[in-house]
A and B are shown apart, each in its own frame.
Chain A
Amino acid sequence: MVDLLLYLTNGIVMGTSYALCALGVALVVGVMRVINFAHGEFYVLAGYLSATFASALHLGIFPSIAMSILCVFFVGLVVERFLIRPTYGNEMYSLIITFILYIIVENLYLFIFGPYPQKPPNWVSGSQNLFGLFYYGNQRLVSFVTAALLISIFLVVLHKTWLGRVIRAVAIDREMASLLGVNPTRINFFSFGLGCVLAGAAGIVLTPIFPVVPTVGVGISLTAFVVVVLGGMDSFLGAVVGGLILGIVENLGVAYISSGYKHLFGFVILILVLFLKPTGLFGHRQFQ
C-alpha cells in the first residue's frame, strides 16, 4: 500500500512534466499540422543551458532559468523561420527536416557538452514526509508544483486571452481566421516558439532530478507524441490528461512488472486507446 502510493506520486509528478512537454506538441500540431521530431531537443537545450549558465557564468538559479527559456524561444523562432516556413503546405517535408534537425542537434550536444550527464543545481534541498508514509524529495515536489502551475497558466492564456482565442481559432480553421484579419503565418511563427518553450520548461523542471545526456531528446519527443495521440490530437486538455495517465502507467508498470519495459507500457496503452477510440481520449477530429 505504501509502495503503491509512492509509485502513484511518482507517476503524477512525472506525468505533469510529460503533460507540460506534450502541450508544446499539441500546440504545434494543432496550429501548424507540423510534427516536430526535434521537440525533445529543446528540452535538452533548456537543460544544458540552465546547467551551463549556472555553473560556467555563475548566475543564480532563477536568472539562468529565465535566460535559458529566452534562448529556447529564440532558437525555436529561428528554426520556424528558416526551416519550417519553407515547408508550409507539405507536412512530409517538415517531418523530414525536423528529423534531420534532431540528428544534427543531438550530435552537436555530444560535441559541445560531452557524453557525461550534466545537471543544473537543485532549487531546494531536503525532503518531506508525505502522508506520514515515505520521504519524498523537495526538488521533485517543487518541480511538480511548477509544472502544474505552468500548465494552468498556459490553459488560462489559451481560453481567456486574445492570444489564446486566436491560436484556437487558427487551429480549428486557419482560412476562416485569415478572413477575420488574422495573419496565420505570424501565429505559426509564435506558436512554434511557444511550443519549444513548453518543451524547454519541461526540461527546466525535470533536469535537476534527471540529469541530461545528449541522447535523451528523442525519448522525450516520443513520450510527448504518445501523450498527444493518447489525449486526442486536437485537444489541449487531452494532452494534460494523457500526460498524467502515461506517467502513472509507466511508473506502476516499472514498479510491478519490469523497468526494462518502461517505454513499452505507454505504447500498450496507446494501442488500446486507439483501438477503442481512434480520435484519442478527448479528440474530435482524425488527422489525415
Chain B
Amino acid sequence: MLVVHNVHLDIGENLILKGISLQVGKGERIAVLGANGAGKTSLIKAIMGLLPIKSGQILFNGKKIHSLPPYEIAELGIACVPEGRRVFADMTVKDNLLMGAYLPHARNKIKETIDQVLSLFPILKERMNQRAGTLSGGEQQMLAIGRAMMSRPQLLIIDELSLGLAPVVVQEIYRVISKLSEDVSLLIVEQNVEIALNNTNFAYILEVGSVVRKGKSSDLLRDPSIKEAYLGM
C-alpha cells in the first residue's frame, strides 16, 4: 500500500535520510524505531508532503505521492498524527473532531464515524464542548488520533506516540489502537522500543538516516543485540 523506496532527503547541508526503504501493506501494523535524530520525523514529513525529498520514490496504492502537496496526500487516504499532537487549542474538542472529517468522503459519514471514535475514546465524549487546549497531554493525544480517524483513512501514521505521556496513558492508547479495524494500516513512530514492538507486526530500526535493522516485531523483541541496545537489558 505505502512504498517508500530509496528516499534521500536533506535539510540545508545535512543529509537527513540516506536511502530509506520501507513498506506498509494493507492491515499491517508497522513500527519505525530509533533514537533522537535518526530521521524518523523527517521520514514522516516526507511521506506527508511537508518536506521535499531529494531522490527516491514514495508510492501510495501505486501512485507517486512525493511531489504532491499535503492536502492532496490526505485526500488519497493517509491521515497523520504529527509529533506534538497539534490539536487546535482554541477550538472545542468537537470542532477538532469535525475538522478531521473535512474531506468530502469523510463529511458524508460524519455521524457514523464520530460515534466510532467516541466509543474508542469515551473520555472525549465528556469533553466535547471543552477547548482542546485545556485537555491533558494524554487526552490531547487521544483527540489527535480521533481527529485523524475522522477522515476514515486507509493508512494512519502516528509520530512519537508516547512522547511526553505517562506510561499508563501510553498503555491505554495502545490498547485502543489494537482495537482499530483491520481496514486501517498503521505506521507508528516510537522511541519507546519495547511497547512499540509488543504492539506491531513488523518494525524498522533507523539510525542516522538509514534502516539498520528490520524484521518481525516478535523476532526483534527476542533479539539479544536489540535488547542490549534499545531495551537496556
Instruction: Give A residues with C-beta under 8 Å from B.
Output: 162, 165-166, 168-169, 172-173, 175-184, 234, 284
Contact = CB atoms under 8 A, between A and B. Distances in A.
A234 B89 CA distance: 12
A182 B86 contact: no
B98 interface: yes
A180 B50 contact: no
B126 to A, nearest CB: 21
Contact of A175 (B50, B91, B100): B50
Nearest to B98: A165
A181 B98 contact: no
Interface string B88-104: 11110001001110110
Please indicate which of the listed interface residues B50, B74, B100 has the most CB atoms of chain A within 10 Å of its own CB.
B74
B90 A181 contact: no
B91 A169 contact: yes
Interface string B4-15: 000000000000
Contact of B102 (A172, A181, A234, A284): A181
Nearest to B107: A162
A173 B102 contact: no
Interface in B83-124: 86, 88-91, 95, 98-100, 102-103, 107
Interface of B: 48, 50, 69-71, 74-75, 79-80, 82, 86, 88-91, 95, 98-100, 102-103, 107, 147, 151
B74 A181 contact: yes
Contacts of A176: 82, 86, 88
B178 to A, nearest CB: 24
A172 B82 CA distance: 15
10 contacts: A165-B99, A168-B88, A172-B90, A173-B86, A173-B88, A176-B86, A176-B88, A178-B70, A179-B50, A180-B102
Contacts of A184: 71
Nearest to B99: A169
Contacts of B103: 180-181
A162 B95 CA distance: 9
B74 A179 contact: yes
B169 to A, nearest CB: 22
Nearest to B95: A165
Contact of A180 (B89, B91, B100): B100
Contact of B82 (A168, A179, A183): A179
A173 B85 CA distance: 12
Nearest to B89: A172
A284 B90 CA distance: 9
Which 9 A-B residue pairs are closest in the complex by CB-CB distance? Answer: A181-B74, A181-B103, A178-B70, A176-B86, A172-B88, A183-B71, A178-B71, A181-B102, A181-B71
A181 B107 CA distance: 12
A177 B82 CA distance: 11
A179 B70 contact: yes
A173 to B, nearest CB: 6
B103 to A, nearest CB: 4
Nearest to A172: B88
A180 B90 contact: no
A177 B103 CA distance: 11
B216 to A, nearest CB: 30
Contacts of B82: 176, 179
Nearest to B92: A159
B19 to A, nearest CB: 26
Contacts of A182: 71, 102
Contacts of A181: 71, 74-75, 102-103, 151
A165 to B, nearest CB: 5
A180 B86 contact: no
A165 B69 CA distance: 21
Contacts of A183: 69, 71
